[in-house]
Structure 1
Amino acid sequence: MKRKKVETDVLNLSGQNLNRIQLPLNLDPTTIILDKNNISKIENLQKCLNLKQLSVAGNRLVRMNGVSNLTNLTVLNLPNNSIVSIEGLKDLTSLAWLNLSGNSIKAIENLSGSINLRHLDLSDNSVSTLTDISNLQNLRTFLLHGNIITSLRTIPPCLPHSLCIFSLAENEILDMNEVAYLSCLPNLEQLSLMNNPCVLMTASTPYPF
């Protein structure tokens, strides 16, 4: 007799010392949380047809290509791993929230299909330059603090006008005058440049009396 799948909302397997993803055969959750394990590969999730939210934070992931078949995902949370590149998102057109903070990513790439993305967190990586994500016309929040960006000159053609919150804190921006390049973002409401060299130098410069 074929076992009928049981729909459930949340399956939380955090902190179980799991080395791989192996789910009960009869479950079809909408949210799976696998934080703080020892997982090195995203696998065995292709039969979770109702899966909308996946969190594999604080594991041992180096690649994220295993998400490519999870086409119904709206939330993907993969911070604090060892992921080296953005991949596997081509067909995830429903994705609205992506967190890849605390990884080893050097380039902003392979996001062109994520047209419904609203929140993108690439903080605490190794990004040095901004590349074109202007087609992400629904993007509202872009977090890039804790990277190694030195200039804002490439911003005008790269970012969507929809952006409201932009964090560039703790980068390597030297010249405060480069903030002028952000005038291309008409909806920008919050900007952080905290702990960049340009801010630290300005704060330490004595005012003439």
Structure 2
Amino acid sequence: MRLWILLNLIFLAECRYSCPDLCSCSFLASEAEVVCRQNSPSHFPESLLHPNTTRLSIQSTNLSGIMADHLKAVPFLVNLQLYHTDLTSLPSDLLKNVPHLNTLDLTGNKLHRLPPDVFCHASLRSLVLKDNLIEQADADWFPDNSSLTWIDLSGNRLKEIPAALLHKLPNLENLDLSDNNLRELQSDALKNLNRLETLNLAGNRLSSLHPTTFAHNLRLSQLFLQENQLRELPATLLQGLQQLNLLLLTQNQLQRLPPGLLDGRRSSFQTILTGNPWVCDERMEYMWRWLNVHAKNVLFLADVTCVAPEELKHQPVASLRGGQLGVGTTE
């Protein structure tokens, strides 16, 4: 009889946590996953969530808001995704009840300004704020020596990224700042990012870079600088980046590359240089020689063409003869 009563109590307890309407749930022995897609409820379904929920994804719905007390229902949460839910703000103590949370994805909301300490209450490893309306990033979002290894701030309205913010992220391996309005990077902004492997600065308004911008990022393997307004690059910009495998410079305003910029690259190195107004005169000699020696390292080589002088317009740089550039050859 006692066993029967115990089983009934367990059954009743489990029945309390049904799957929320219009959501799909997966219940395992010690964890649960809940995914709520289009047309799911507009309020946070905390009363129906199993306390062992480790992954919660709410997508494409008009979530009216989210508070720390909502997440109290899921204390073992590890992964929280709130995609395209029209959130406009977050409370500063949002994560205080989910200390195990390591992944937070807020892609496609309407977040404009975030409060201090908003990401200080959990040991986050991955933070995605892609495609919001954020105009200002603040250092006080994060604790000192944050555990974050991945942060995606792409598709916002940032005009600058404070060095003080990045200095709090020494464990960062992937930083995505693409498709913002960045006009410059402070020379020491990336100084503390010794573990950085991938940096995406594409789609901004950068017109120049300081020679020591990447001097401390010796693990950098992928660097995306395409679709900016870069007019020239310092010759020492890539110095020490022995792990660099991919460099994208597409769609800038570069007229030539400075001597030595691409020297010492590993055999697996790849670059894309198309979409720049290359001026094919004697100052093009370094780039011309490098392209001929390292043709296999350049993707879309035939599309790296001259815009000037007029007689060389549209000709692939690598196909030119030294005499056309006005430089001597050993031919």
**TM bucket normalised to smaller:** 0.7 to 0.9
Larger-gyration structure (1/2): 2
Matched residue type, 2:227 = E
Counterpart in the other structure of 2:74: 27
Q: Please give the alpha-carbon distance, in whole angstroms, between the structure 2 residues aligned to 1:57 and 1:196.
A: 28
Counterpart in the other structure of 1:195: 251
**1:24 Cα shift?**
5.4
Structure 2 gap segments, 5+ residues each: 1-46, 255-274, 279-304, 325-331
TM-score, normalization: structure 1? 0.87
Q: Please give the alpha-carbon distance, in whole angstroms, between the structure 2 residues aligned to 1:91 and 1:15.
A: 33
Q: Cα 1:179–1:34, aligned 2, differ >3 Å: closer, same or farther? A: farther
Q: Which has the higher helix share?
A: 2
Task: Tell me which moved more, 90-99 or 18-27.
Answer: 18-27
Matched residue type, 1:83 = I
Q: Cα 1:42–1:104, aligned 2, differ >3 Å: closer, same or farther? A: same
Q: Cα 1:157–1:164, aligned 2, differ >3 Å: closer, same or farther? A: closer
Q: Is 1:152 aligned with 2:202?
A: no
Q: Cα 1:159–1:181, aligned 2, differ >3 Å: closer, same or farther? A: same
**1:155 Cα shift?**
3.7
Q: Please give the alpha-carbon distance, in whole angstroms, between the structure 2 residues aligned to 1:11 and 1:179.
A: 48
Counterpart in the other structure of 1:134: 191
Q: Is 1:74 aligned with 2:125?
A: yes
| Alignment RMSD | 2.3
Structure 1 residues 50-199: aligned runs within 5 Å: 50-65=100-115, 67-87=118-138, 88-91=141-144, 93-109=146-162, 110-131=165-186, 132=188, 133-156=190-213, 159-175=216-232, 178=234, 180-198=236-254, 199=275
Matched residue type, 1:138 = R
Q: Please give the alpha-carbon distance, in whole angstroms, between the structure 1 residues aligned to 2:181 and 2:90.
A: 23
Maintained 8 Å contact 2:101/2:123: yes
Q: Cα 1:158–1:21, aligned 2, differ >3 Å: closer, same or farther? A: farther
Matched residue type, 2:150 = W
Deviation string, structure 1 residues 98-153 (Cα, Å, up to 9, x no partner): 00000011112211111111000000011111222111111110100000111123
Q: Please give the alpha-carbon distance, in whole angstroms, between the structure 2 residues aligned to 1:57 and 1:157.
A: 28
Maintained 8 Å contact 1:150/1:171: yes
Q: Please give the alpha-carbon distance, in whole angstroms, between the structure 2 residues aligned to 1:50 and 1:121.
A: 24
Matched residue type, 1:31 = N
TM-score, normalization: structure 2? 0.57
Q: Cα 1:82–1:155, aligned 2, differ >3 Å: closer, same or farther? A: farther
The one of 61, 71, 77 aligned to 1:16: 61
Identity over aligned pairs, percent: 29
User: How many residues matched?
Assistant: 205
Q: Please give the alpha-carbon distance, in whole angstroms, between the structure 1 residues aligned to 2:170 and 2:71.
A: 33
Task: Tell me which moved more, 162-171 or 126-135.
Answer: 126-135
Structure 1 gap segments, 5+ residues each: none
The one of 38, 51, 56 aligned to 2:86: 38
Maintained 8 Å contact 2:96/2:122: no
Maintained 8 Å contact 1:71/1:93: no
**1:20 Cα shift?**
1.2
Task: Tell me which moved more, 187-196 or 116-125.
Answer: 187-196
